[in-house]
Amino acid sequence: MLRDDLAAGLLRALQRRDDLALASVLSPDVRMLVDTGDRTGGELHGRAPVTRALNDLLVGHPDASLRSVHVNGGPGLAVRLRDGRVVGVLAIDPRADDVAASAGDSIAELWLCASPGKLAHWNRRRPILD
């Protein structure tokens, strides 16, 4: 599946903090919706603003790691702190397969959820089973 390959490339680029690799997986006119749960969220357009926002998220959480996850049935990334708390979930838009095929196999749309209220499900403590 194309989105899985794109998500893997996005993960590698972000883990390495490699802006050139990140730019290579993002469409020149990439769009990212940012849901922070307050007025600081919004919509970003273009490689440079999206790259800056993703880097800012990681710089703001220097102890964070990125993990591949499923988001709404598709591939995505979770930004998880050392204590296990998820502070961001990044999803490739479900329509990305069609859009990427016409955009040269790059990510055209992302959705970043950094709203604590909406991340509550990701941060539930699950009971330890014996």
The domain spanning residue 54 has which CATH number?
3.10.450.50
Residue (of 113, 79, 102, 108) closest to 6 by Cα position: 108
In a domain, 50, yes or no: yes
In a domain, 45, yes or no: yes
Tokens of 42: 């919004």
**How do residues 6-26 score in pLDDT, each as one tens digit?**
889 999 999 999 999 999 999
* Torsion sign, CA atoms 34, 53, 111, 74: negative
In a domain, 109, yes or no: yes
d(CA 55, CA 4): 21
Model confidence at 62: pLDDT above 70: yes
pLDDT for res 126: 55
What's the whole-number mean pLDDT along residues 114-126?
A: 86
Domain that holds residue 56: 2-117
Q: Domain count of the chain?
A: 1
Q: Report the Cα 55 to chain-centroid distance in Å.
A: 11
User: Would you say 57 and 44 are in contact if contact means Cβ atoms under 8 Å apart?
Assistant: no
Q: Report the Cα 28 to chain-centroid distance in Å.
A: 17
What's the whole-number mean pLDDT along residues 96-105?
A: 52
In a domain, 108, yes or no: yes
pLDDT for res 127: 52
d(CA 56, CA 111): 15
In a domain, 124, yes or no: no
User: Would you say 118 and 102 are in contact if contact means Cβ atoms under 8 Å apart?
Assistant: no
In a domain, 122, yes or no: no
pLDDT over 70 for what percent of the chain?
85
In a domain, 78, yes or no: yes
pTM for this model (two decimals): 0.82
pLDDT for res 1: 41
pLDDT for res 92: 87
What's the whole-number mean pLDDT along residues 34-48?
A: 92
In a domain, 47, yes or no: yes
Model confidence at 130: pLDDT above 50: no
